[in-house]
Structure 1
Amino acid sequence: MDDLFDFQEQLLSRLSNKERYLLNEIDWTERLIGIKGARGSGKTTLLLQQIKFKLSKDAIPLYATLDNLFFLENTLVSLAKAFVLKGGTHLFLDEVHKYPRWSRELKLIYDQFPALKIVFTSSSILEIYKGESDLSRRAITYHLKELSFREFIFFDRGLTLPKLNLKELLENHKEIAREATATLGSPIKDFENYLNYGAYPYFLENKTNYIQKLVQTINLILEVDLHAVENMVYEDSRKIKKLLVAIAQSAPFTPNISKLSERLGMSRGFLLNAIKILNRADLVMELYKPTKGVGALTKPEKLYLNNPNLVYALGKQNTEIGTLRETFFANQMKHLHEIHLAEKGDFLIDRTYTFEIGGKGKTSKQIQGVKNSFVVRDDMEVGALNVIPLYLFGFLY
């Protein structure tokens, strides 16, 4: 265990103090907290920042990643027991999906050590409540999204902009945009940069090699995380990679399941499950019309890559601005609001608000007569009436 404490100190000594939005939204008083998110979104940093900057001075924390060699000869339960005997108060466990008995042992630790607070992270692919032990009555779970545009500006330029809720954005977008431009100058260049390399915090390490790093991250998700979470063999993960490339080449993609399964050599059942996995992995977004039921055997109406950076990394020949606009808007809404394809316009949010996404020439013709409808444009700094600048939807978290 001493090696784990040493490793924790090494990580804390070089920790950034730039915080993700979720750090201050989690109820850290809960006894068992799960944090899911895409690889590279900043889950490890989140845990370490909680340890270094937020815990009281009398707390005794321990951070451990579950792929550490320590766990080849030691169980999670034995670590927790030894840690509690040493006075430990907070156990932070990273990448639990890489430990075969994670759910059973977390349940045992929770039941045996009622004074111990446990926080764990996992791949977004992992369905936490479907582990071999039921944690649904014990764990409070959160999802860490990629960087919002607002966070990107803070990480990149050190400028702080207010977080908005959707209602105040729709009602006060003109005043909000004026204040944003007063802070940023023109936000258009920042927005272009975000679309290219702003979704994951490791852009701070090296912007030049960002796309290469993102492609490596995608490969790790498909080759390592899929095996750890789904026990998927290499050949099946290669099939899913082929599917992801096929989606990227023509996203937004309206899937013809019969043709796609024939083209990629997959059964219908495997293909539909693969799409669900890519959605859970935060690599694609499945979208449906609000009238359509969603189930394991239901094909999505449309598939988008999960964020604009993935479009640049996987679909270089498909980086037209219309695709980037729609991908950005849908991504910023995902996990925060209920999102559907609209009957008129592009997206229906919370079954209430209709949005038509476009550029300079976009009018409200397609949504004329639709209640609570808005045009969202990417070529403007300040909007008017029901026309709202696209970049403002990056201030929602």
Structure 2
Amino acid sequence: MDEKVITSLLATSRRLMSWARKFPKRRFLYDEILNIDEEYYIGIKGIRGIGKTVLLLQLAHEMERSVYFSADSTLIRPFSLHEVVKTLSELGYRNIFIDEIHRKPEWAEDLKTLYDEHEVRIFFSGSSAIDLLHSGADLSRRVVLRELPPASFREWLNIKMGLDLPRLSLEEVTSRSFDLTNMYIELHTMWKDYMEKGGVLYPVSGFYDALENSIRKVILEDISALREVSVKYETDAYRLLYLVAKSAPFEVNYSSIAKELGISKNMAIRLVEDLSKAGLVYALQPCNSVRKEPKLYLTVPLRMFFARKGFNVHLGALREEFFVNHMRWVSEPCYLKGKRGEKTADFRIGEWVIEVGGGGKSRYQRPDYMAVDGLITGKGRIPLFLFGFVY
């Protein structure tokens, strides 16, 4: 490789590692990654804007002989991933941090070769669509892959407000709701702000422009790792997200998507699966049934982003979205669906049945707990915002 290219790459690496020092707060995955056995390469996947780049730079700053670069950099476009890393290895670098690795052709094959050569250790980030088992190379025994979800309510408060709120277990939330509500009562009003501009970590200035650009890049670039993306596919994917955003829970199913978008039901299923793998949609499965269709939710704050197009968001959907987007990283939830005309609670989380609703929600469905608006506790009622502290 040309000396000027390497010099520029190293200068950029030093500048960005220095820049990352202004972010003292770390996502929860930081400590977990440091404790993974050095035998493995480490991959971090997730949607855009959740802090993957900053996390890599923070890790790089922590380790000796580290260098960072982005796989989509124009500097290294003429060179393979293997060539770049080998050159850095020859210069004495031992911890290589590669951002957006899925943007480099044949990245999986190059990782396998580099691992087998045992000269460096690689940490990399990529889109949510990365799948090691189907990457074309046998990486499952060589790489520990972790998914970094959007920032939880707790993490968002810590990062944006400089707080140091501890993680709570689900058992603590259910058993200590009165004490915890009084402890964090001043943070209750931040729930709405989180649903509007939480989860992803873009600066407040230009937030929605950055988010819109991110959504389009996910559809055009990240999903292209799964299949060819045409102009019609891009339009249909965007319209599907909009359809979910403006709908109440259970209003959207494969048939309604097909009808609204003018596509086949099979194509509707494929779109949902692709957007789920890309991290924009979460398809919540029913409890004890394979025949029912999933309930569709969006990643925070996509519902409020699309609401700017001119519709009123269904508050029940917003509450459920907050709850589900936190519970899914704790214990795989499922939704309850009774027979026609039968009233059931909303979700099962492990051994517990939980109903999500407004402050006036009753115990008609006889759930174990009710996650509700407001600050009133007792008789199984738990303020909804407390569930945002569980990861």
Cross-structure match for 2:313: 319
> Measured at CA, do residues 325 and 256 of structure 1 come closer, stay the same or move farther in structure 2, by a change above 3 Å?
closer
Cross-structure match for 1:375: 370
> Measured at CA, do residues 128 and 253 of structure 1 come closer, stay the same or move farther in structure 2, by a change above 3 Å?
farther
Matched, 1:23 2:37: no
Cross-structure match for 1:159: 163
Three-state SS of the structure 1 residue aligned to 2:184 is helix
Cross-structure match for 2:192: 192
| Contact 1:226–1:237 under 8 Å retained in 2 | no
Q: Between Structure 1 and Structure 2, how many residues are aligned?
A: 374
Cα RMSD (Å) of the superposition? 1.9
Q: Which moved more, 1:231-240 or 1:146-155?
A: 231-240
What TM-score results when the alignment is normalised by the length of structure 2? 0.90
Separation in 2 of the partners of 1:392 and 1:258? 35
Find the partner of 1:47 among 42, 47, 56: 56
Cross-structure match for 2:154: 150
Separation in 1 of the partners of 2:349 and 2:278? 22
Q: Which moved more, 1:242-251 or 1:88-97?
A: 242-251
Separation in 2 of the partners of 1:10 and 1:201? 21
| Contact 2:178–2:377 under 8 Å retained in 1 | yes
Separation in 1 of the partners of 2:8 and 2:305? 38
| Contact 1:376–1:390 under 8 Å retained in 2 | yes
Equivalences for residues 121-160 of structure 1 within 5 A: 121-160=125-164
Which runs of 5 or more structure 2 residues have no equivalent in the other structure?
Answer: 1-5, 338-343
| Contact 1:62–1:88 under 8 Å retained in 2 | yes
Find the partner of 1:211 among 193, 204, 208: 208
| Contact 2:153–2:388 under 8 Å retained in 1 | yes
Matched, 1:11 2:4: no
| Contact 1:66–1:96 under 8 Å retained in 2 | yes
Residue 163 of structure 1 and its aligned partner are, at CA, apart by 0.4
What amino acid is aligned across from residue 40 of structure 1 in structure 2?
A: G
Cross-structure match for 1:173: 177
Which runs of 5 or more structure 1 residues have no equivalent in the other structure?
Answer: none
| Contact 1:97–1:229 under 8 Å retained in 2 | no
Q: Deviations over 1:317-344 (max 9, x none)?
A: 1423222111100001123321100243
Residue 108 of structure 1 and its aligned partner are, at CA, apart by 0.7
Separation in 2 of the partners of 1:215 and 1:81? 37
Matched, 1:347 2:341: no
What TM-score results when the alignment is normalised by the length of structure 1? 0.88
Find the partner of 1:105 among 110, 122, 144: 110
Deviating 4+ runs (over 4 angstroms) = none
Q: Deviations over 1:116-168 (max 9, x none)?
A: 21111111122232111121111111111111111121122212111012122
Cross-structure match for 1:94: 99
What amino acid is aligned across from residue 281 of structure 2 in structure 1?
A: V
Cross-structure match for 1:257: 254
Q: Deviations over 1:44-77 (max 9, x none)?
A: 000001112x32xxx2111111111233211111
Residue 281 of structure 1 and its aligned partner are, at CA, apart by 1.9
Cross-structure match for 1:310: 302
